[in-house]
Structure 1
Amino acid sequence: MAADSLDPAVAARLKRNPDGLVPAVVQQYDTGEVLMLAWMNDEALHRTLTTGRATYWSRSRSEFWVKGDTSGHVQWVKSVALDCDGDTILLQVDQVGAACHTGDRTCFDAGALTVTGTR
């Protein structure tokens, strides 16, 4: 395995969308708070695993971005796991500052939707 590529055993487990991406759910490691959802390709996952900094693929800019490089709101990676199907990545991070580009702690601060079909 090349030192600058994703472990082939890990790559073989990934089920990517047609653009070669896998969604990454990002969670605060000590509270379980869901912070955001982002996208990763093999290289973003490799960079995340080898640097300890959350690295994603920007679909709008078509480039890698390391969380916190411009905002200072760094995500220090504590653990990375694949779900049972290999089609979703779970990153548990120590979030410094806001996770959302809006400045909110989490991207899910926009308000809960009303559920009317509860038991």
Structure 2
Amino acid sequence: MMNHSILATDTDRNAGSLIGRPDLSDDALVAAIAETQALLGLTGASPEATLAAARAGDAAALNTMKSLMLPPPVARLQMPVQVLKAERRAIGSAVLSPVPVRDRHAA
């Protein structure tokens, strides 16, 4: 017997998270679906129906969502703070020990 109370439904999160883009709103995805359908000349389900089917777990709708032409990410990237050092480093400084090179033609 499954405990359905611990299962999260896809309607609890935005549709962008279905395809790994939680920064995209549902409206942005509906617009992207409509644009892709118009560009490819598809006359199937409406963009809203495709989105609803993807939320319900329909494999074909999810594949359609994954193949959309999407805008670039708008979410802020998480970068660690890096301290800039004021020291100067010589270009080509000998950090690595020299590797001995054998002459192939020597007997």
When Rg is computed on C-alpha atoms for both structures, the one with the higher figure is 2
Q: Which range, TM-score by smaller chain?
A: under 0.3
Task: Specify which structure has the higher proportion of strand.
Answer: 1
Q: TM-score, normalised by structure 2?
A: 0.26
Task: Specify which structure has the higher proportion of helix.
Answer: 2
